[in-house]
Amino acid sequence: MPSLAESYYARANALLATAWEKNAATIATLAPILGASVARGEVIHTFGSGHSEIMAREIVGRAGGLVCITSINDPTGGFIENLIGYGTKLVERYDRQYELRAGEVVIVISNSGKNASPIEVALHAKKKGCVVVGLTSLAMSTTAKTVHPGGQNLHAIADYVLDNGGVPGDTVMPLTDTIMTGPTSTFVGASLLNWLLLSTMEWLKNNGHELPVLRSQNIPGAIEHNRAVGANYKHRLSRQLA
């Protein structure tokens, strides 16, 4: 009998393959939208509340990634993500400092799709004329009742949806009769975002645009390179370069 880890490995790989199949067409649609925005000198914004912040952070300041990606940071780490109005105040303050410009892309990440802060960030971005991409578990977002008084979950607000294929509760392995383990939202979500950015960078390359791609700062000369490619964006990045 396979161990729990071996069973999770098999299930995880199957989920990853399914996520690619389900989202490939959406990624292909989004790549030129993100690419054209980057080509115009704009930035891509991300937001994830609670554990979803890990995925938002994954593509910000990433070696091999685009320099023009910035994050809407929640100093509470999601502690008050269901305090109505908090997400609005958070994104309004970010907007005043770093700007959300019409036509720019905002990626909002919420596994459940029901919590107030990500919904309020998405609503504000829509009001500003941004393109909203929701990364969520459709199995949860379409069934869990939102706590937001607007009554809509993230998938219903977003212009485009990336589905991580997760199950309600975000655990796929039974440890006992009553305890589940084996979360999947982080590794699938991070993969979806990296697939999207690889497709975006490929679109930029194929259409003859500049590639403002970061290098690992552990490589000689990388810090100087990163500062150079980030020079046009430094006043719009919430996490500054080295």
Sign, CA torsion 163/164/170/173: positive
- Give me the pLDDT at residue 208, please: 98
Instruction: Count helices and strands (H / E) in the chain.
Output: 8, 7
Beta strands 105-109 and 69-71, pairing class: unpaired
- Give me the pLDDT at residue 16, please: 97
Answer for the pair 213, 61: CB distance below 8 angstroms, yes or no: no
What average pLDDT values come out for the chain (242 residues) when binned by 10 residues? 96 97 98 98 96 94 97 95 97 98 98 97 98 97 94 97 96 96 97 98 98 96 96 92 85
What does 187-242 look like in DSSP terms, one character per residue?
HHHHHHHHHHHHHHHHHHHHTT----B---TTSTTHHHHHHHHTTTTGGG-SS---
- Give me the pLDDT at residue 240, please: 85
Q: Which CATH superfamily is domain 42-196 in?
A: Glucose-6-phosphate isomerase like protein; domain 1 (3.40.50.10490)
- Give me the pLDDT at residue 186, please: 96
